Amino acid sequence: MFSSVAGGTGSGLGSRILEEVKKEFQELNILNINVFPFDIGENALQNYNTLLSLNSLINYSDYILYF
């Protein structure tokens, strides 16, 4: 999977899809490629979105690459 962790569809929906895929196909190894936000962004809640989506990534991913 490839998604953003700062907010929008990439963090919320991406985390939910990741959770459902891992529950349905437990034998698969899942690699996530994630893009971290800039220091200052358009979304005021991007720091909270990042923390919440990282929790989901840690719980349901086998491999994680950050950019």
For residue range 15-67, list pLDDT tens digits in order. Answer: 888 899 999 998 999 998 887 766 666 667 777 878 888 888 889 999 988 88
Domain boundaries, the chain: 2-66
Q: Which two tokens stand for residue 33?
A: 């490629």
Q: Is 29 helix (H, G, I), strand (E, B) or coil?
A: coil
Task: Look at the block and give the residue holding tokens 């349901």.
Answer: 60
Overall average pLDDT of the 4-18 stretch = 78
Overall average pLDDT of the 1-10 stretch = 72
Query: Which residues are CB-contacts of 46 (< 8 A; sequence separation ≥ 6)?
Result: 6, 7, 37
